[in-house]
């Protein structure tokens, strides 16, 4: 079965760091773009970052640029999200997700920001940023 499992969340003070991991099983991770999303209490799920196959490109929403770094280690079937200088507004459940194959050739190798462009989701890991 095709699965993604997130880990690494927790409680951290503003200005500190956390590193999230997303481990894939049941498919070849290196062939897919992988996105990180988050959902705060009472908020819509939003795309945070995405990394394309082979790390050829990546994307970030403006609010995390310069603070978060996405990376991948395909030999370990894992994608990471390094979160530095955390802010309270970073609080939420963080999900990783696999890009959906479409009628566009090799589209799943690349990035997108919208929820509908992803087909396999992890269960999420809670990140709480508070003093």
Average pLDDT over residues 7-21: 98
Residue 102 reports pLDDT greater than 90: no
Please list, in sequence order, all residues whose beta carbon lies within 8 angstroms of the beta carbon of residue 117, skipping any fewer than 6 positions away: 35, 99, 100, 102
pLDDT band of 71, cuts 50, 70, 90:
very high
- What 3 state SS string does 33-47 have? CEEEEEECCCCCCEE
State the pLDDT at residue 103: 83
Band (pLDDT 50/70/90 cuts) for residue 85 is very high
Nearest to 80 by CA among 37, 20, 124: 20
> Tell me: the pLDDT tens digits for 20-42?
999 999 999 999 999 999 999 99
Residue 104 has a pLDDT of: 86
Burial of 108 (0-12, 13-18, 19+ CB in 10 A): buried
Both structure tokens of 65: 């640029």
Three-class DSSP labels, 49-77: EEECHHHCCEEECHHHCCCEEEEEEHHHC
pLDDT band for 43, please (50, 70, 90 cuts): very high
Q: Is residue 4 predicted with pLDDT exceeding 90?
A: yes
Copy the structure tokens of residue 105: 């050739």
Residue 68 has pLDDT above 90, yes or no: yes
Residue 48 has which token pair?
């945070």
Cα 74 to Cα 88: distance, rounded to the nearest angstrom: 31
């Amino acid at each position: 079965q095709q699965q993604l499992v997130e880990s690494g969340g927790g409680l951290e003070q503003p200005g500190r760091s956390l590193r999230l991991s997303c481990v894939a099983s049941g498919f070849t991770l290196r062939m897919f773009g992988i996105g990180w999303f988050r959902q705060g209490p009472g908020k819509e799920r939003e795309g945070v970052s995405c990394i394309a196959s082979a790390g050829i490109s990546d994307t970030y929403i403006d609010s995390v640029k310069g603070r978060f770094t996405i990376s991948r280690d395909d030999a370990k079937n894992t994608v990471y999200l390094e979160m530095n200088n955390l802010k309270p507004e970073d609080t939420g459940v963080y999900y990783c997700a696999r890009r959906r194959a479409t009628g566009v050739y090799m589209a799943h190798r690349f990035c997108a920001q919208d929820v509908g462009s992803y087909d396999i989701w992890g269960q999420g890991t809670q990140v709480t940023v508070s003093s």
